[in-house]
Chains A and B, each alone.
Chain A
Amino acid sequence: MTFEPSARVESVPPSGIRRFFELAEEMDDIISLGVGEPDFSAPWAAREAAITSLEQGKTAYTANRGKRELRERIARYEAAEHALTYDPDEEILVTAGASEGIDLAFRALLDPGDAVAVAQPCYVSYVPGVTFAGGEVIDVPTRADDEFKLTREVLEAAGAADAEALIYCYPNNPTGATMTGEELREVAAFCREHDLMVFADEIYADLTYEHEHTSIATLPGMRERTVVFNGFSKAFAMTGFRLGYAMAPPEAITAMNRIHQYTMLSAPTTAQHAAIEALDNCREEVTEMTTQYDRRRKFILSRFNEMGLDCFPAAGAFYAFPECPWDDAEAFAEALLEDQGVAVVPGTAFGAGAEGHLRVSYATGMAELKEAMDRIETFLA
């Protein structure tokens, strides 16, 4: 016999970033602005807590929903930082990264054929995730003219009213766009009017520079229809720990946990010990990293503007999303890589609305960032 991928798997094309990863891997001495993770190491106290937990032999499964101690800390943290109140016993599920939480939500809360409105450009996993769950995707391309924010017009034009759910990510990967509470009100009203579930990916919530982050679940009538995803990868620079969490009313968390308990059983135990320490004692490191990202953000936006590259003022995450000076962003990114050894990712890897843009990550040290911007300037000259 031979293994044949299922039709569902066959229908999902390889990730658009895969090709660029392979191209970049073939080259030596590149400066990569293509990374979607912090350049900082996880805070030392969190790493030490992980080591200590191993020394003490705390290597067994935890409760399916995650250690209660961690769920309590998450509840406290979300209440203090994002005005979100969730019951640690029934409304929080600790997952192997926010990505697992999103996958669980798709599979647990969608029926085959259900449509999901996907705000794009977006993280590369949403569209395949909906497909793997048997759902249908409704592309909701946001526009550079709207600073890549969701609006009622954009949702209506895309036919999102027919969807069962809306998924978005603000602050956004790949654009760096954010949405204020006032702007989210319009989205919330649309979702209430058309009875949509909302899957709010807030993994970059703490990396918001121009204004306070607002979760849509804090707006009237939204908590009961929203699943919020967050995790430790971005703000705490703990990507390799693979630890995230989902927050939602009990019926959603119970359904998601039903899949989680059969597939993951529980999120990595060592990572949960590290996460407890991170929430207790590593907030200063988060502030310091955020200060550094903000400086780099200002630097990169200012340099792009000086080069004449149109770049809207990204106010969150660690990405800039300038317009590509060539018609073909893939050809540009490839030529920049070959000519100057600088890796950026063409926006097309991130779905509808991303054409003609480049994702430029500033999760890299200032010296390298400066060198990379000089090389891009040389390339454009």
Chain B
Amino acid sequence: MSSRREILELLRENARYTTEDIAHMTGESVDDIESTIEELEEAGVVRGYQAVVDWNAVETDEERVRAIVELNVTLDRETSYADIANRIAKFPEVTSLRLISGDYDFDMEVEGDSMREVSHFISNKVAPIPEITQTVTHYVMDSYKEQGMRFDDHDDDERLSVSP
């Protein structure tokens, strides 16, 4: 495995690994790890670092709402998928946007403080875009796994603490 790929895998596994941790795990020097990560960031391969949050586990009265929205669009000679995507992606409410194959064209994820806020955003900001022909909104009821991380795997290590 190339060192760049291994470093990317480790950062995906846990972005809080220090350069020292990654150096220990890969057998590379700390300087080499630092410079490779810098290169990956500058080249736009690593776009950022985020926490994977289980909002259900956050003790707060504030509602956190997420919705997956199916978008169908129609193209003309002057408008491409990328043009439409650029227009939608600029909204801060949109947390992810992907062009996909199948029954609809874009898969959009939206976050807001309430269902009302999310609904308003879709009906007032997204649906009026001329190329969008249909929106179907699915509110997220519960989340069991995000970005490869399961939310139900609590400390259930049943192994003996010392074994042969």
Contact = CB atoms under 8 A, between A and B. Distances in A.
Chain B binding surface SS class:
loop
Interface string A204-232: 00000000000000000000000000000
Given A298-B27, A302-B27, A25 B21 contact: no
A295 B25 contact: yes
Interface in B116-164: 157, 159-164
Contacts of A106: none
B90 to A, nearest CB: 37
Nearest to B18: A370
Contacts of B26: 295, 298
Interface in B1-29: 1, 10, 13-14, 17, 21, 23-27
B24 A298 contact: yes
Nearest to B159: A35
A25 B24 contact: no
Contact of A25 (B14, B27, B159, B161): B161
B161 A17 contact: no
A296 interface: yes
Contacts of B160: 21, 35
B161 A343 contact: yes
A35 B162 CA distance: 5
Interface string A277-295: 0000000000000010001
Contacts of A124: 164
A258 interface: no
Contacts of A339: none
A366 interface: yes
A299 interface: yes
Given A295-B25, A298-B24, A299-B21, A37 B159 contact: yes
B163 A37 contact: yes
Contacts of A25: 161
A25 B162 CA distance: 9
Contacts of A295: 10, 25-26
A295 to B, nearest CB: 4
Given A36-B163, A36-B164, A295-B25, 12 more contacts: A17-B163, A21-B162, A24-B161, A25-B161, A34-B162, A35-B161, A123-B164, A124-B164, A125-B164, A343-B161, A345-B162, A366-B25
The 9 closest A-B pairs by CB, nearest first: A34-B162, A21-B162, A24-B161, A302-B24, A32-B161, A299-B24, A295-B25, A299-B25, A36-B163
